Amino acid sequence: MNHVELGRLGEDLAAEHLASKGYIVLDRNYRFMKAEVDIVAATEREIVFVEVKTRTSTSFGEPEDHIDDKKKRQLFKVAEAWLHERRMEGSPVRFDVISILKPGKPGESVNHIEGAFWYL
């Protein structure tokens, strides 16, 4: 499985996880300029922008450890664009991370980190 296939599998698992928790998936792979957010979902109270990190092992750390400040700033810009396009500026938002290890293999784990980070 190549990197793109692994990422797609992780995003599919993350979307299923969110749906099982009652979230409504509004958008996937939304792009603004050169940045992208993997999943945009909604709860009864807020819009949730979700970054999905999928890895086959923790040899280089936990998947969520690979979200740096540059990536966070990109996510904030993408979120602002998504909200602006839909005339939803001012809506309550949250940024989550879903970390997936060993997708489709024994020991698979899905870790949903709600409110993983806030605007910088």
User: What are the domain boundaries of the chain?
Assistant: 3-117
Left if phi > 0, otherwise alpha if psi is -120 to 50, otherwise beta: which for 3?
Answer: alpha
Task: Judge contact between 50 and 96, C-beta under 8 A.
Answer: yes
List, in order, residues 6 or more apart from 53 with CB less than 8 Å away: 10, 63, 64, 66, 67, 97, 98, 99, 100
What six digits make up the tokens of 55? 């890895």
Reported as a single tens digit per residue, the pLDDT across 6-17 is 889 899 999 999
CA dist list (Å): 19 to 40, 75, 80: 12, 21, 23
Query: Between these two residues, 79 and 6, which has the higher pLDDT value?
Result: 79
Instruction: Taking residues 20-27, report their average pLDDT.
Output: 97
Instruction: Taking residues 39-67, report their average pLDDT.
Output: 87
Neighbouring CB atoms inside 10 A of 37's CB total 24
What six digits make up the tokens of 73? 């700033």
Architecture of domain 3-117: 3-Layer(aba) Sandwich (3.40)
